[in-house]
Amino acid sequence: MHIGGDEDEKQIAATCRDRVRAPGRRLCSIEKTKPRISCAAAQCDAKVTVSDSGGRCEPDYINPIDLRTGGGGPKMIKWTLDTPGYEFSREPFKFAILFETDPLDQFQDASVSKDGRTLTIRFNANPRKADEPQSFKYAITVRKTDERKTFCKTLDPWLLN
């Protein structure tokens, strides 16, 4: 998933089935026409659905969340699982969300609530970087709610700031 700026779009990966994994990782670009989730209010809401094929589950693609919309100041980002039988992971070793980089500590207070169906995190824009578009790559981890609690494939979308 991605949060970030227009200049990074050529480097941003949507969920692409043919991308090569590290170290020779090839990234797919997000087209400029790709719909984005607007964050015009103090809270941004994104729905998460999960597909299951042959016993292998994976969160479906989530449109990039654009934190540049709306006023400045802190924003809460909320993901809600919309597929029964799954929950966001609460395990410290594989928590529901992981950011690849956050050098200015802009993401804080991640929590999973409502029986694992809701994930929230607070974003504090850095005023020093307000005029510089930023992109943040993050990973979403969900698992089945059955007795085995099997983890699904991790989804790595983006946020735009």
- pLDDT tens sequence across 45-84: 999 999 999 889 999 999 888 887 777 778 999 999 999 9
| Alpha-carbon gap, residue 81 to 63, rounded angstroms | 15
**Could you report the per-residue pLDDT of 83-130, keeping only the tens digit for each?**
999 999 999 888 999 888 888 889 999 999 999 999 999 998 776 665
pTM of the full structure: 0.75
| Residue, of 136 and 129, whose pLDDT is higher | 136
CA gyration radius, the chain: 15
